[in-house]
Structures are given as C-alpha cells and as structure tokens.
Chain A
Amino acid sequence: MATITAPTSEKAAPPGILTHPATRKLLALAALAAVLVPLAVTQWGGATWPSALTVDVSEPLGRASDWIIDNRDSHPLFLYFFGHVSNIVVVAVRAVYLALLAVGWAGVTAIGALVAWRVAGVKLAAGTAAAFLACGLLGMWVPTMQTLALMVVAVLASVGVGALLGLAAGLSDRMDRVLRPVLDTMQVLPAFAYLLPVVLVFGIGVPAAVLATVVYAAPPMARLTSLGLRGADREVLEAVESLGTTARQRLLTARIPLARKELLLGVNQTIMMALSMAVIASVIGAGGLGDRVYQALASVDVGAALAAGIPIVLLAVVLDRVTGAAGERLGESGKSPVTWLYALVVAAAVALAGRLAGFLDWPDGWDLNIAEPVNRAVDWMTAHLYSGVPVVGGTADWAAHFTSWILNPLRDGLQWLPWWSVLLIVAALAWLIGTWRTALTAVLAMAAIGVLGVWDPSLDTLSQVLAAVAVTLVVGFATGIAAARGDRFERLLRPVLDVFQTMPQFVYLIPVVALFGVGRAPAVAAAVVYALPAVVRITAQGLRQVDPAAMESARSLGATSGQQLRQVQLPLARPALLLAVNQGVVLVLAVVIIGGLVGGGALGYQVVFGLAQGDLATGLVAGAAIVCLGLMLDRVTQPTERRTTKKGA
C-alpha cells in the first residue's frame, strides 16, 4: 500500500532534501529513537511486549461483572437510573411495534408509499411499496416490523442525542475541541466493540441492542450538525445580526435553517448505521430480521439467511433513497400542507380498509420460498469450486496458499519484530502522512494494546487487516479506474455496490467458509468483499473529479490514455485515493473482527468468546484492544485534513 500512495515529489533536487518536511520529520524521529531505543532494549528486550509493562485487568473486571449481576435488582443506581432507561426503551419499542401491527401490512405499505411519494416522488413511492410487499412475500413480515420498531426508536434517539451534541459543538468552540476527537474516534470503531459494555449493564435483550445502536449511530449526526452550524454563510448571519435579533432567534431563524442540508445528511447517515448495527446487535438478542439471519447461520442455511437479509437491504436502500431525495428537494417549495392532509387521509383509509377486511397479519399462503434454489446454487458452487479445478486449483487450495504464503509470514514477521520497532514504524508512518499529534495518538494507542497484555493477538489481527487491505486496494483501485473511465461499466456496477454495501456482514460469512474453509483466509475474504464497494466508489469519484482542463491539456500534448492516467489523473486524485485507503482500513478492521465467528481467531474470537461466555475480562480487554487498533490504523492512514466522509453502512 505504501507503493501506491508514495508521494511522487521525491525527485526533489539534492540540495533541498534536508529541508523537505518528510525528511525533517524522519530525522527528528531517528534522533528521538536513538535516545529511547537503547534504553528500552537494555531494560526490556525481546520481541513481544515486556510483561513488566502490562497491567492485568481481568480480576477487577471479573469482580465488577459479578457485582453488577448480583446488584442489578437491588442497587439504587440500577433501580433509579438504568432501570428507567431500560424501561423507557422497552415501552417505546413496544408502542411502535403495536402501532405497526395495528395498522396492518396493507396500512404500513400504503403509509410508507405515500410518505415516499410526498417527499421523493412517484418512482420511489412505487419502490417503497414493492419493498414492503417483498418483505411480506419472503415470509418476513413480523420480523421486519420488529426490526422497524427497534429502528424507529433507535434512530429517533440517535438523532436526538446527536443533534444535541452537535448543537453544543456547533455553538461553543470549547465543546467543539472536546467533542471532536471523541466523535472522530467513535466513527472508526468496529460495531462489535460496542456490544460488551452495554450487555454488562443491561443484560441481553432489546434495551441493550437499542443503546448499542444509539452509541454507534449518533456520532455522524453530531458531526454533521456541528459542521452545518459552523458552515453557515457569514454574510447572512451578519445581516440577521444587524436586524437586532437575539442569539436564540438567530439560531432558530438563520443558523438551523441554513444547516438543513447537513442535518438531513446526518439523519440519512444515522439511519444507515443504525440498520447495519441492528443486524450485529442480534448477537445480543435484538430479535427481528438480524436474529433470523443469525439463526439461519447456525444451521448453515445460506438461503434462509438471504431471505432475512434481503428485507434489510430493501429497507436500507429505500430509507437511503427517500432521505437522500428529501435532502435534494429541500430548496423547492410548492408543497402545501393540504396535499399532506390528503396523503394522510388516504393512508388512514387504506389502513382502516385493511383492518376491516382482516388484512392485518400477512396471509399464510402468500410467500415465496427462495431458500431452496439459493441453497442449491451455493451447493453447486462449493461442490465445483472447492478443490480439484483444473489448472487454477480449487478455492480451498487458494485459501491454504494465501494462509501459508501471505498470512503466516506476515503474522510471524510482525510478531518477530521487537516491540519498540513496531512503535517506531507506527510513529514514522503516522507522522509522514499526518501531524505529530496524530503520530502521538497512534503510538499511544499501540502502546495501550501492549499494556493491556494482548500484544500478540493484536498483531495477529493486524496482519489479517494488512493482508485484506492490500487485496482490497489492488482490486478496488483497478475496478475504480475502470469505472471512472467507462460510463457503461459504472452504471452496471452501481446496483451491485449498493447491495454489497447494505448487505449485513453476517450473510456472507457462511458462503465464504464453504469456499475457503475455516480460518483466517475466509475472514480476510469477507473483509475484502465488505470494504471493496467503498474503495471502488471513492476511487471512481476522485478520478472523475479531476479537473477536465488538466486532462484536456494532457491530451493535447499527445499523452496516451495510460500516460494520462498515470501522470495526470492519479496524482491529481491523490487526496481521494488516500481517503480510499483510510476507509478501506477502517471497514476491513470491522469485518476482520467479525471473522472471529468463522475461525479468524485473535481479537475477534476473544470478543465472541467474551459475549458467549459472559466473560467480560476477556471480552472487554479484546474490545479495548480493537478500539486502540482502530485508532492507530486510522491515524496512520489519515491525511492531514479529514473530510466528512461516509462510513459505509
């Protein structure tokens, strides 16, 4: 990955080399290392993190967890605070769920379509109706409603919390300084890391699932709210101020309306992240569609997993498009409240008619069994591709080769490196690409992993991440370049990318095992599939946004197509490519962790183990190490100026 992103400016003239910022940074680091490394080596030699520098937290954590379980029904903290929080969540989810059931399937479909029609037009209305009907046809109506109920509550709470935080950060510079690093960090954390602490307090079930979702989905809303408030046009604000308005009036009449676009984008992001979490939260008893996917995986039933996964994808695509369209249409006026009233009346009428006609539950006979054909296809695939394919060998052989030629040497190499040199490499990479602050955060995060006593498993996870990122970038850049240069190819690619980005990660864990066996190779494969769409998208977008004038002049100079790409497009798109690397790393980490479910081992396995055995000491330490690893990887690949980016849903 270093070869792709290496700056081309190394051709600088020799006299200037000492003043080049990168060289200066490296020299400073080398000087620092020259002092510190001999000290560290004489004190604590060896490759792995010195045991003298670790802190064993398992005993206090174990005691804390026992204390919580024993006092959950008696201690005031639980009775008067967490108990009420949990109660409110249960009551709210239940209210929405009962309302959805009372409206019936015909009513829900009609209301969904009418709302989509009003905010986004006829085409999306038809799409929405079709999506709801498909959920019913797949035999997933009740689970879909359960997920929808949970989503409504979680999204409302996330938007509320996020907007409040964003408001605080947008209005006060001090709050902004405090919150920004926190929000930045939360956005790079894998969803799996959130589960354990919430379960610790609330136990398995819907309240824990909703709260974990809120923690995961609120940060983008907060970031975008703050961004919107800060980005408001100075001149407009001054004009409003000159009218003698109070601060509150200015906020309500000018700043918030001006930030509408960002606010809606925030809502959109929050919805997407909440949906992806709704599936992962099935591990802690969220119920609904995610639980169906999870149950299907237990019996290795890809077809059934897909039948529950498709409604999730449909919900995601519909919600994404409708909120997106609402954002684009914001400026337009001409929607009178009267048409809303009509829409409401029609919806109420349909719901009532459905009720009277007894169309509440989805009719029994109306479903489509897709599980069988899908399973047959998967069986065929694994039977014919697993091994013994002439010339190229089977997928099992690839996996074995990948493991023994790439993953094993990479892991062993990382674990062989002395611990201080790992810190040094991290510092160098982070400083070269960012500032001394990002370098310091990265080094501290890496050191924290050592202190927690999970140095070796973390390096194991790191080796999987590096291998997966390398594959993702090679494939992703190639596809992205192809998509940027061919309109037709991009049109073909778009729906595929949409589906892969919204498909719950759980769904492709089993086919991956069927193809690559158990171990680290399938974990890496799943991670590549998950991270690829975002990398392809960002690359294609970055290449397309290259100034047409620059391209034109290159062409007029007689550059060939390849030369244009190498010498003009790629260098000019460098920020986008760096962003793609950063996003790729973050997304890959999220799935490599989930790979613990298919034999990925290392940190992911420890989190799964902690959840499954209620062993918080193991789980929380691994979770904290994942957090540190995520932080380190993000800082090492983070360009100096971060933009607000889409984290793949």
Chain B
Amino acid sequence: MPTITVRVKRFDGKTTWWQEYKVDVKGLKISVLDVLLRIKEEQDPTLAVRYSCRMAICGSCGMVINGKPRLACETLLEELETDVVTVEPMWNYRVIKDLVADTEPMLMRLREVKPYILRDTKEIFESDIEYGQKPEELNKYLNFAYCIECGLCYSACPVAASDKLFLGPMILAAAYRWSADSRDRGWPERMKIVNSDVGVWSCIVAYSCSAVCPRNVDPGFAIQQLKKAILLRRKKL
C-alpha cells in the first residue's frame, strides 16, 4: 500500500502556510480530488476544496497540481509519476480559503461578450420555430462550446497575470463560439467588444490557455480566429 505525501498551500483569510499530510492509498488509479477528500474526511475537516461532479464536467476543482493548472478530479496519481503531490489554489485569482479561488469576478465578466444568440429576442422566446443547423455549421463552433468555465486558462494566462482589464481566454473563446454559430446575428456587436482595448489585441499568443484546457477547447486558436475576422472586416463569423 503506497503512502502519498500531500503538500497543501493553505490560507485561512489571514495567514498562508504549507501543510503536509500522509495518505495511504490502495493503488495509483485514484484522483487527486479523492485523495484530498480523504484528507478532509479522515484527517482535517477544516481543509477547503471546491468540488462537485468528480467526472471533469462541472468545472469546480481547478487547482495547481505539481506546478500545472488542472482539474483535481481528472488528475490521477499515476500520471504524476511521484509520490509527492503539491497542490495550491489557481493562480491569477484572489484566494478565498485554502484551495478555493475566487473565480466569480472573472466568470461574471462573461456577460460583457453577450454569450447567447443575438437576433430577434421575441422570436426566440415566443415563437415555436426551428432555426435548423447543418452538421458542418455545428462543427464550426462545437469544439468551443465544450468550455466548462473552470477558469484554468485564465490561471495559466501570462497576460491575465498582470492586466486585470483583459477579458481573458475563456471569455474571448465564448465570444468566438457564439459569433461562429450559424443561428447568431451578433458579430457586428460582439466585434466592437473583442476589438476594444480589453479584447483580443492584448493576447501575446503564449497559448498556455490551450495547453492547460481540460476540454481541449483551444481558446488560443479562438482568439486568433477573432483577430483574423476583425482584420478581414468580416460581416459574419
């Protein structure tokens, strides 16, 4: 039965410290989240972790594990290839407690890019029609609709680290997802936002966002697509 050492960067609202726990595990096919929950339930109930679905779809448990932003529920011990697990809260956010980062201010900015179908609202809410969409039209944006809003991309973004006005990769990818949807008519409106000084031009093409995305959404590519559409003065994405 292997013993794992877990080093957790803790914070209680005032003080930051590192705390070490030892956990016996039956095998290495166990997720970092499960290890943290065992610590919480068996050793230290004061440890705070945000989590929910445990299957990499709700986006709650983003944290920095052994130096890389990732989801704790889909990071298995075996892939870390070490028996020392170091966890800290996601970078680029205020820390609330222990591993819980305050992602809310970033998430709430999603509103700025109007993340929904922009066309006759009355028709959307009151008609009973079907817009229709061909599989090839679906495929144009589908990959970007997989975003689970975990915030890891923002945590890995070197621009977001210093420029708090920058909309960041997740929100810009959402702008692309909605504008590239064949049902949407909102590109002229959204273009003004992504073309502003909080938008795409701050991106330095580091692609760290795409590197850490657990759903392979590729926000870096979405940002470059937005730039291209602006430069080509496209009327519709």
- Whether A associates with B in a native complex is no
A→B interface (CB under 8 Å): none
B→A interface (CB under 8 Å): none
